[in-house]
């Protein structure tokens, strides 16, 4: 019997009225996995173990593991012949069962003191920092094709940070209380929403998947979590971990399966209290439109939080440090195969620097190794699935045939063993070319070379040429140029980097999210996000209420 089944069989844990010690979160240190290190040996062992068997991934409804008659195969993207997991597929009946489970758990969970809820998530953080670390990292490497360091910063550090910082921010929110004048006690009761929160999560970060479910749960809500099919193994292991940490049955219900069928059931339910989404802009639009159509049927206005697509930029000024710029472009565009929502996919380089930048970047690209992520020497793995492989292969082939584009790298995509798309650099003359404006979500960096003297106009082009506004970076040594970029690009990115790559935001340090068509910008892993999952109630108690209705001015002189 696994942990989920054990949790389902146990009674709801008793609540304890603890005091509320102040909690100060800290970031989890990133382990290096250098040859000979203990963490490398532990990870290698776990990779071997997980790579030897196909795992059944069930649904989790009311704390119970549920296997369905139909399952979907999850393969290793870098070795697609290998079936890593068989994932149960929820349909209409399971979606209704998850609604019932979340409703059944809601009143009890909402009555838990914040400190009691917090302890579950803090325990989860310690389990993940310790005994569960390599299990989650190995599943993320094998299922989502991340290298050791990319898994470590995601399924270990970022997820641990979400678990810890959410608790700190939730406690800061709870401490925000109104003034009380003499004879009166005022307070704010940070109630959870009435109903369930629907968490719909992407493939690319195990941490984002986990956080979209735990953030509303920490604030006292019950959640139905629909993970991405390709991330279902790592996401399920996190569910197991949460149950080991003491999460009561029904608080988070795990529902992999047909996204449209599940959404149709959940969005039609009057108890939908919110959507916590990260993924593509098109899917969030669809969820928003469906919700709008059902609006009159809901008990309350659902909270819609969505972090969506991007076309993230690096803009270099003529004063930029070329070495730093090239490393940022390389890491920003090609780490995790360009499948971070924050990945650099368009760059603007001044003509005076381009010959040097181009030569240096091509030299660096030639050194990058791509392959099976269990080989720790590789810098890149494969893209997530056949759909992504086809999309990217077509875009690269189209660029090779396009007179307005020059593909500067020679390697081509190859799917014989895994879905491998090589790091690709394309120079385009027109800054409004589709390669500079549309999200491709892969290791393709488009570069536009501009005349140095057109810097002010260039900033306007960067700002206005795409619909997105997620991340962006400026490289310059000249302080005046940095100030111009800061002002000119103020609305072009929700996360703006100065002399740094546009990826790698750390929870608690660079709260993450973008505006325009990149989302509602509610900043994952911050108090701003957690505030979306509460419905504050103001309570006033008058200690000695008046017993005479007359005011002083009514007295006779």
Ligand X SMILES: N[C@@H](CCC=O)C(=O)O
Ligand Y SMILES: NC(=O)c1ccc[n+]([C@@H]2O[C@H](COP(=O)([O-])OP(=O)(O)OC[C@H]3O[C@@H](n4cnc5c(N)ncnc54)[C@H](O)[C@@H]3O)[C@@H](O)[C@H]2O)c1
At its nearest, how many Å lie between ligand Y and the CB of residue 308? Answer: 5
**Helix 114-129 vs helix 232-244: angle between axes, to the nearest 10 degrees?**
120
**Beta-bridge partners for 447:** 347, 427
In whole angstroms, give the CA distance from residue 188 to residue 178. 7
Count of beta carbons in the 10 Å neighbourhood of residue 504: 17
At its nearest, how many Å lie between ligand X and the CB of residue 501? Answer: 9
Residue entry with tokens 């310690």: 126
- Residue 503 found at the interface with ligand X (CB under 6 A): yes
Sheet bearing 55-57, strands edge to edge: 55-57, 79-88, 71-76
Instruction: Provide Rg for the chain, Cα atoms.
Output: 25
Q: Which does 520 bind (CB under 5 to 8 A by kind): ligand X, ligand Y, none?
A: none
Out of 147, 211, 222, 228, the residue judged to bind ligand Y by CB under 6 A: 228
Stretch that binds ligand Y, among 60-68, 154-162, 276-284, 323-331 (CB under 6 A): 276-284
Output the CA torsion 113→510→506→238 (10° steps): 40
At its nearest, how many Å lie between ligand X and the CB of residue 163? Answer: 15
Out of 340, 346, 448, 532, the residue judged to bind ligand X by CB under 6 A: 340
Which CB, 109 or 334, lies closer to ligand Y?
334
Which CB, 317 or 516, lies closer to ligand Y?
516
Binders of ligand X in range 198-217 (CB under 6 A): 204-205
Lookup: tokens for 507? 């929870």
Give the closest residue to 176 by CA, choosing from 529, 547, 527: 527
Lookup: tokens for 258? 């047909």
Q: Which does 503 bind (CB under 5 to 8 A by kind): ligand Y, ligand X, none?
A: ligand X
- Residue 439 found at the interface with ligand Y (CB under 6 A): yes
Binders of ligand Y in range 283-302 (CB under 6 A): 283, 286-287
- Residue 504 found at the interface with ligand X (CB under 6 A): yes
Q: Which does 286 bind (CB under 5 to 8 A by kind): ligand X, ligand Y, none?
A: ligand Y
Lookup: tokens for 73? 């195969």
Q: Which does 504 bind (CB under 5 to 8 A by kind): ligand X, ligand Y, none?
A: ligand X
Lookup: tokens for 227? 């993970």
Which CB, 222 or 518, lies closer to ligand Y?
518
Which CB, 5 or 286, lies closer to ligand Y?
286
For the chain, give the number of residues: 557
307 belongs to the catalytic site: yes
- Residue 342 found at the interface with ligand X (CB under 6 A): yes
In whole angstroms, give the CA distance from residue 122 to residue 68. 32
- Residue 307 found at the interface with ligand Y (CB under 6 A): yes
Which CB, 472 or 513, lies closer to ligand Y?
513
- Residue 263 found at the interface with ligand Y (CB under 6 A): yes
CA distance readout (Å), 219 to 36, 63, 162, 170, 215: 42, 19, 13, 7, 7
CB contact set of 263 (below 8 Å; sequence gap of 6+): 198, 200, 226, 287, 290
- Backbone phi and psi for residue 428, each to the nearest 5 degrees, phi listed first: -125, 140
Stretch that binds ligand X, among 346-354, 404-412, 503-511, 529-537 (CB under 6 A): 503-511
- Residue 145 found at the interface with ligand X (CB under 6 A): no
Which CB, 356 or 506, lies closer to ligand X?
506
- To 5 degrees, how large is the angle CA 449–CA 335–CA 146? 160
Residue 19 contacts residue 115 (beta carbons within 8 Å) = yes
Out of 341, 353, 489, 505, the residue judged to bind ligand Y by CB under 6 A: 341
Residue 328 contacts residue 500 (beta carbons within 8 Å) = yes
Which DSSP letter does residue 246 get? Answer: T
- Residue 144 found at the interface with ligand X (CB under 6 A): no
In whole angstroms, give the CA distance from residue 485 to residue 454. 13
Could you tell me how many helices (H) and strands (E) the chain has, helices first? 18, 21
- Residue 365 found at the interface with ligand Y (CB under 6 A): no
Residue 202 contacts residue 279 (beta carbons within 8 Å) = yes
- Residue 226 found at the interface with ligand Y (CB under 6 A): yes
Lookup: tokens for 509? 């340090």
Position of minimal CB gap to ligand Y: 279
At its nearest, how many Å lie between ligand X and the CB of residue 494? Answer: 11
Q: Which of 46, 152, 307, 439 is catalytic?
A: 307
Q: Which does 505 bind (CB under 5 to 8 A by kind): ligand X, ligand Y, none?
A: ligand X
In whole angstroms, give the CA distance from residue 346 to residue 328. 12
- To 5 degrees, how large is the angle CA 59–CA 60–CA 62? 145
Lookup: tokens for 259? 């996204």
- Residue 309 found at the interface with ligand Y (CB under 6 A): yes
Residue 342 contacts residue 456 (beta carbons within 8 Å) = no
Binders of ligand Y in range 518-537 (CB under 6 A): 518-519
Binders of ligand X in range 456-495 (CB under 6 A): none
- Residue 341 found at the interface with ligand X (CB under 6 A): yes
Which CB, 246 or 508, lies closer to ligand X?
508
At its nearest, how many Å lie between ligand X and the CB of residue 507? Answer: 8
Which CB, 86 or 119, lies closer to ligand Y?
86
Q: Which does 439 bind (CB under 5 to 8 A by kind): ligand Y, ligand X, none?
A: ligand Y
Binders of ligand X in range 150-189 (CB under 6 A): 158
Which CB, 112 or 419, lies closer to ligand Y?
419
Where are the alpha helices (H) located in 295-385, listed in sequence order?
322-334, 354-367
Q: Which residues are marked as active site? A: 307
- For ligand Y, the binding residues (CB under 6 A) are 200-205, 208, 226, 228, 259-260, 263, 278-280, 283, 286-287, 307-310, 341, 439, 441, 470, 512-514, 518-519
- For ligand X, the binding residues (CB under 6 A) are 158, 204-205, 340-342, 503-505, 512
């Amino acid at each position: 019997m696994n942990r989920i089944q054990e949790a389902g069989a146990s009674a709801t844990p008793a609540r304890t009225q603890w005091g509320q010690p102040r909690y100060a979160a800290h970031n989890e240190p990133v382990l290096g996995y250098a040859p000979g290190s203990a963490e490398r040996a532990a990870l290698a062992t776990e990779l071997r173990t997980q790579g030897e068997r196909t795992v059944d991934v069930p649904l989790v409804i009311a704390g119970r593991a549920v296997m369905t008659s139909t399952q979907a195969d999850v393969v290793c993207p870098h070795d697609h012949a290998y079936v890593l997991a068989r994932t149960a597929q929820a349909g209409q009946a399971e979606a209704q069962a998850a609604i019932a489970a979340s409703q059944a758990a809601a009143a009890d969970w909402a009555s838990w003191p914040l400190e009691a809820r917090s302890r579950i998530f803090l325990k989860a953080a310690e389990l993940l920092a310790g005994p569960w670390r390599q299990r989650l990292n190995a599943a993320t490497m094998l299922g989502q094709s991340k290298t050791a360091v990319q898994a470590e910063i995601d399924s270990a550090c970022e997820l641990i940070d979400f678990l810890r910082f959410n608790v700190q921010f939730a406690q800061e929110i709870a401490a925000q209380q109104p003034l009380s004048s003499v004879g009166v006690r005022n307070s704010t009761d940070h109630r959870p929403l009435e109903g369930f929160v629907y968490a719909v999560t992407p493939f690319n970060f195990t941490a984002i998947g986990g956080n979209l479910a735990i953030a509303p749960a920490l604030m006292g809500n019950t959640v139905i979590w629909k993970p991405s099919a390709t991330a279902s193994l790592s996401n399920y292991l996190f569910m197991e971990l949460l149950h080991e940490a003491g999460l009561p049955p029904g608080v988070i219900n795990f529902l992999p399966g047909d996204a449209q069928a599940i959404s149709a059931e959940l969005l039609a339910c009057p108890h939908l209290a919110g959507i916590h989404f990260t993924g593509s802009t098109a899917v969030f639009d669809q969820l928003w439109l469906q919700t709008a159509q059902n609006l009159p049927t809901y008990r309350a206005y659902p909270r819609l939080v969505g972090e969506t697509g991007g076309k993230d930029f690096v803009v270099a000024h003529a004063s930029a440090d070329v070495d730093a710029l090239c490393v940022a472009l390389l890491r920003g565009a090609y780490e995790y195969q360009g499948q971070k929502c924050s990945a650099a996919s368009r760059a603007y380089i001044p003509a005076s620097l381009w010959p040097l930048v181009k030569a240096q970047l091509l030299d660096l690209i030639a050194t990058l190794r791509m392959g099976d992520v269990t080989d720790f020497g590789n810098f890149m793995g494969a893209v997530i699935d056949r759909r992504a492989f086809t999309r990217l292969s077509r875009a690269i082939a189209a660029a090779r045939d396009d007179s307005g584009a020059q593909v500067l790298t020679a390697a081509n995509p190859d799917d014989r063993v895994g879905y491998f798309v090589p790091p690709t650099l394309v120079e385009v003359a027109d800054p409004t070319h589709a390669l500079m404006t549309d999200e491709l979500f892969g290791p393709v960096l488009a570069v536009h070379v501009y005349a140095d003297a057109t810097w002010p106009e260039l900033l306007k082009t960067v700002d206005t040429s795409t619909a997105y506004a997620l991340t962006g970076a400026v490289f310059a040594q000249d302080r005046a140029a940095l100030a111009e970029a800061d002002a000119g690009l103020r609305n072009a990115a929700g996360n703006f980097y100065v002399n740094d790559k546009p990826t790698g935001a750390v929870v608690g340090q660079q709260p993450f999210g973008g505006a325009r068509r990149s989302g509602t910008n509610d900043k994952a892993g911050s108090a701003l996000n957690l505030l979306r999952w509460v419905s504050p109630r103001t309570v006033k108690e008058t200690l000695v209420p008046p017993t005479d209705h007359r005011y002083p001015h009514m007295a006779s002189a």
